[in-house]
Amino acid sequence: MIIQKFFPRLARGILALFVRRKQFVLLSLLAFVTVNISLICLIDRHHKSYPPSVTAPLKSCQELIIAQKHDGFFRRLHHLTNSCPLQAGMNSPPTRLGCFTHNPTKPPLSVVRYTSPQNNSPAFCVASCRSAGFAYAGLQGGVHCWCDRTLPSSPPLTAGHCHLPCPDTSSGEAANYPSCGAALAVDVYNTGAAERIYKTLTSLNTDPWQLDETSDVRVVYVLVLTGRSWRHIQRSFRLLYHSSNYYYVHVDKKSEYLYSKFQKVAQLLPNNVYVTSNRRNPVWGAPELLSLMLNIMQDLLTNFPSWKWDFLINLSETDIPIVPNADLIRILNAHRGQILVKATDTAKHEFIKSQGLGKAFFQCDDYVWLLGDRQPMDGVVIHGGSDWLILPRYFCAYAALPEQQDSLVRKLVAWYANVILPVESFFHTLAYNSAFCELVVNSNLRFVNWQRPRGCSCRLNQTADWCGCSPSVFSGPRDLYRLHKARLLHSSSPTSPQLQFFARKFDSTIDVAMVNYAEVHLIGRELPDSSRNLNLFLESVYSSQYDQPHQAGGDSAVPGALLGFRFLASTAAKFAQALDRCIDDYS
Residue among 329, 285, 309, 523 nearest 424 (CA): 285
Indicate the pairing of strand 185-190 with strand 144-148: unpaired
Answer left, alpha or beta for residue 15, where phi above 0 means left and psi between -120 and 50 means alpha. Answer: left
Element (H, E) at 223: strand 219-225
What DSSP state is assigned to residue 538?
E
When the pLDDT of each residue in the chain is averaged and rounded to a whole number, the result is 81
Three-state secondary structure string covering 425-492: CHHHHHHHHCCCHHHEEECCCEEECCCCCCCCCCCCCCCCCEECCCCCCCCCHHHHHHHHHHHHHHHH
pLDDT at 500 over 90: no
What is the share, in percent, of the chain residues with pLDDT greater than 90?
51
Residue among 575, 585, 539 nearest 13 (CA): 575
Whole-angstrom distance, CA of residue 210 vs CA of residue 75: 54
What DSSP state is assigned to residue 173?
-
The widest CA-to-CA distance across the chain, in whole angstroms, is: 91
How much is the pLDDT for 366? 79
Q: Are 151 and 136 in contact (CB under 8 A)?
A: yes
pLDDT, mean of residues 534-557: 65
pLDDT at 34 over 50: no
What DSSP state is assigned to residue 525?
P
Q: Are 48 and 345 in contact (CB under 8 A)?
A: no
Return the SS3 of 89.
helix
Cis amide prior to 59 (ω within 30 degrees): no
The letter for the amino acid at 475 is S
Q: Given pLDDT bands bounded at 50, 70 and 90, which one contains residue 170?
A: low
pLDDT, mean of residues 521-536: 74
Whole-angstrom distance, CA of residue 251 vs CA of residue 437: 33
Whole-angstrom distance, CA of residue 342 vs CA of residue 356: 19
Strand order in the sheet with 359-364: 359-364, 367-373, 39-42, 466-467
pLDDT at 249 over 70: yes
Alpha carbon distances (Å) from 349 to 71, 148, 434: 27, 11, 20
How much is the pLDDT for 349? 95
pLDDT, mean of residues 448-468: 70
Q: How far is Cα of residue 364 from the mean position of the Cα atoms in its chain?
A: 20
What is the share, in percent, of the chain residues with pLDDT greater than 70?
74
Whole-angstrom distance, CA of residue 309 vs CA of residue 286: 28
How much is the pLDDT for 200? 86
557: exposed, middle or buried (C-beta count within 10 Å: 0-12, 13-18, 19+)?
exposed
pLDDT at 586 over 50: no
pLDDT at 51 over 60: no
Whole-angstrom distance, CA of residue 100 vs CA of residue 108: 8
The domain segmentation of the chain, as residue ranges, is: 88-190, 219-522
Whole-angstrom distance, CA of residue 311 vs CA of residue 325: 14
Residue among 449, 252, 225, 448 nearest 317 (CA): 225
Alpha carbon distances (Å) from 146 to 43, 78, 330, 504: 31, 20, 46, 39
Q: Which residues contact 185 (CB under 8 A, 6 or more apart)?
A: 99, 100, 101, 102, 140, 157, 161, 162
Q: Given pLDDT bands bounded at 50, 70 and 90, which one contains residue 524?
A: confident
pLDDT at 280 over 50: yes
Compare 513 and 547 and report the one with higher pLDDT: 513
Q: Are 536 and 564 in contact (CB under 8 A)?
A: no
Q: Given pLDDT bands bounded at 50, 70 and 90, which one contains residue 26?
A: very low
How much is the pLDDT for 93? 92
Q: Number of C-alpha atoms within 13 angstroms, CB side, residue 203?
A: 2
How much is the pLDDT for 39? 37
Whole-angstrom distance, CA of residue 585 vs CA of residue 165: 67
Lowest mean pLDDT among 92-106, 292-306, 409-423, 569-583: 569-583
pLDDT, mean of residues 49-75: 70
Whole-angstrom distance, CA of residue 534 vs CA of residue 545: 27
What's phi and psi for 27, nearest 5 deg?
-85, 125
pLDDT digits (tens, 9 = 90+) for 204-228: 444 444 445 457 999 999 999 999 9
Q: Given pLDDT bands bounded at 50, 70 and 90, which one contains residue 407?
A: very high
Whole-angstrom distance, CA of residue 447 vs CA of residue 522: 13
How much is the pLDDT for 468? 76
pLDDT, mean of residues 549-566: 52
What DSSP state is assigned to residue 385?
B
How much is the pLDDT for 63? 85
Whole-angstrom distance, CA of residue 171 vs CA of residue 357: 22
pLDDT at 40 over 60: no
